[in-house]
Amino acid sequence: MLPGSMQAIRLYDPARVPENWRDIIRPGQFAAFAADVVSGAACDDEGEPFASSDAVTCLIFDSLQEAETLCRERVARHPQLRFDIFDAAGRTQPPIITVVHESRSERLEGNRGSRRLSNVFAACLLALAPVLIWFDWSRHDGLLIVPTIVAINCIVFAGRIVFLNLTYVSIERAGRQRLAKYHDRGNG
């Protein structure tokens, strides 16, 4: 049962004019895409997988509040569901809101808990690097070389972890700003 201001449409339908869903959604509308939390496979709003990639649909809403309300209701009934809600720009930017069951929020990529843990791991790698270099150069006059190479790799890997976490923070911040923009307009 679909609410009156919501429509489920196939992403690409060669029999429809226009064929692509991006040509149907209007500014001020929002699209919700459902997926399985564990596998990431696209599914319908009740959690049923699509028969083929040609059958994939999204839900289009007239307001962000309607989209979020329906997605939260469906996730409460089907905890394996994840909804990503986008504005009319579609998937050109990260979702405005990602809705998952609270028991599954730790499965989201880049969640605060995993970022915190990976930052601790990066700090440990950075603390280990000078110890390895000291071990190599003070005890063996730089003859082992392997501890120094491992230390350099620790520094590079820690840098990549920190950069990835900063990217997640930036994406999260941009999403909050876009969400605030819609709430300020009264479209939320």
Which pLDDT tens digit goes with each residue over 132-186?
A: 998 888 876 667 788 899 999 999 999 999 999 999 999 888 888 888 887 777 6
Q: Which amino acid is at 72?
A: R
pLDDT of residue 121: 97
pLDDT of residue 93: 86
Which pLDDT tens digit goes with each residue over 23-39?
A: 888 888 999 999 988 88
| Domain ranges within the chain, ordered by starting residue | 6-106, 112-185
Cα–chain center distance at 132: 36
**What is the full DSSP assignment across 111-169?**
-HHHHHHHHHHHHHHHHHHHHHHHHHHHHSTT---HHHHHHHHHHHHHHHHHHHHHHHH
Alpha-carbon span 115 to 109, nearest angstrom: 9
pLDDT of residue 186: 64
Alpha-carbon span 178 to 164, nearest angstrom: 21
